[in-house]
Amino acid sequence: MENLVRIAPGALTIGRPLPWTVYDADGNVLLCQGYVIQNDAQLEQLFERGRFQPRKIERPPEEEPEDIRVRNPFADYPVLLQTLESALKAVTDQDPNAQKRLLGLGRMIDQMCEASPEASIALIHLYSIEPTIHEQILFYAILCQFTARQFGLDNKRTAVLVGAALTANLALVPVADKLNASNKVLTDDQRAVIRKHPMRSIQALQEAGITNPLLMKIIEQHHEQANGNGYPHGLSGTEIRGEAEILALAERYVASITRRAYRQRMKVTEARKLITSLADSGVFRPAIPKALLKVLTEYPPGTLVRLQNEEIAVIVARPKRARGPFAKAIIGPRGNRYNGTFERDCSREEFSIVDVEMPEIMPSMDFGQIWGFR
């Protein structure tokens, strides 16, 4: 197999799923995407022996979109992350193709969400334990796409919002992972970097020749609050664009279910209560948190749950017509790992959800198989 690249130290973390399939130097599969590294010894072996195959999106945005019915978000995931990283670098390098790269990436996210909504939402929750800044940005974009559609935005405004989600934190990219890994109180300089990042991101985009007025407005306002307590301008009420509030809410949700060095992550049920409280707090237009809650449902795809019969299962699809949510059982009542998976309709009493599971180390899963892509 050609183009295999060594895995860099720090690219993988104990307790979270592999973002791509790992090969040895001869191209033999060592571990499939979704396998969870259990300990330091496994991690060290992967750094010594492991390789991965980087892939890039070469299709220019002017081409006709491919058949999106076979879009597999789990196969797309490493591609999206690589493409995001290169697109943001193109902006900071003032590459004349930066805007085309961002447009192409935004369209791929839109196609993925439209074709495979359950698996696209699952990505966020399966990889939410300790995501990198690029993973967080991708999650923001996915949530913005779904929330914008639910809120009723048209295609053009949705596309600009997704573009804003991809670039609003551009100025934080060099420091975000370090900040998230620190359990110390932020310094005044670090706080200043955070407060200035909307305007610095805008400046970088403008210097790269990207000047869409709505894009700039969303980025500028995505930390404003309807009650006037936001930044950088202390705007309030209808002075703030709805798109900016959608992006702000997506960031809050992802932050709440993400583990940081200085705090534990929330269960999705706790994060849902947080979003519900924001609908009544005056921080957001009530309709926007309600739109996000409708997208997520009580147990979003990718959530690990314990069922009434003591099985551990992963949610694969949201409710439909008074049935569901639907799950795939992966661990039996006695803690035995199933060889395959068994579909469960959680609207049935024996398969009803008792609690959300929050293990420090996720169980390994074959995502493509669970969501029916192979």
235 and 126 co-located in one domain: yes
171 and 105 co-located in one domain: yes
Please check the confidence at residue 57 and state whether its pLDDT lies above 80: no
335 and 274 co-located in one domain: no
Q: Is residue 240 part of a domain?
A: yes
Q: Is residue 57 part of a domain?
A: no
**How does pLDDT run across 146-156, given as a tens digit for each residue?**
999 999 999 99
Picking from 262, 296, 330, the residue at the C-terminal end of a domain is 296
Q: Is residue 190 part of a domain?
A: yes
Question: Which secondary-structure segment (H or E) carries 47?
Answer: helix 40-49
Helix (H, G, I), strand (E, B) or coil at 293: helix
Mean pLDDT of 251-261: 89
82 and 220 co-located in one domain: yes
**What is the rounded distance in angstroms from the CA atom of residue 192 to the CA atom of residue 95?**
28
pLDDT-derived band of residue 194, with 50, 70 and 90 as boundaries? confident
Q: Is residue 62 part of a domain?
A: no
**Among 168, 158, 170, CA closest to 106:** 158
pLDDT at 58: 46
Residue 97 CA: distances (Å) to CA of 1, 108, 171, 208: 30, 17, 19, 9
Which position has the higher pLDDT, 142 or 26? Answer: 142
271 and 200 co-located in one domain: yes
242 and 336 co-located in one domain: no
98 and 20 co-located in one domain: no
Regarding beta strands 5-6 and 29-31, do their DSSP bridges make them parallel or antiparallel, or are they unpaired? unpaired
146 and 180 co-located in one domain: yes
| Contact indicator for 133, 172 with CB cutoff of 8 Å | yes
285 and 332 co-located in one domain: no
Mean pLDDT of 51-62: 58
Q: Is residue 350 part of a domain?
A: yes
Q: Tell me the residue range of the domain where 139 lies.
A: 68-296
pLDDT at 49: 87
Domain count, the chain: 3
**CA angle (139, 235, 291) in 5-degree steps:** 40
218 burial class (0-12, 13-18, 19+ CB within 10 angstroms)? buried
pLDDT-derived band of residue 60, with 50, 70 and 90 as boundaries? very low
Q: Is residue 60 part of a domain?
A: no
**What is the rounded distance in angstroms from the CA atom of residue 103 to the CA atom of residue 311?**
43
Q: Is the dihedral of CA 134, 139, 141, 144 positive or negative?
A: negative
21 and 119 co-located in one domain: no
pLDDT at 264: 84
pLDDT at 56: 52
Q: Is residue 58 part of a domain?
A: no
Which DSSP symbol is given to 320?
B
pLDDT at 40: 87
Mean pLDDT of 176-186: 74
pLDDT-derived band of residue 297, with 50, 70 and 90 as boundaries? very high
Mean pLDDT of 220-243: 92
344 and 203 co-located in one domain: no
284 and 323 co-located in one domain: no
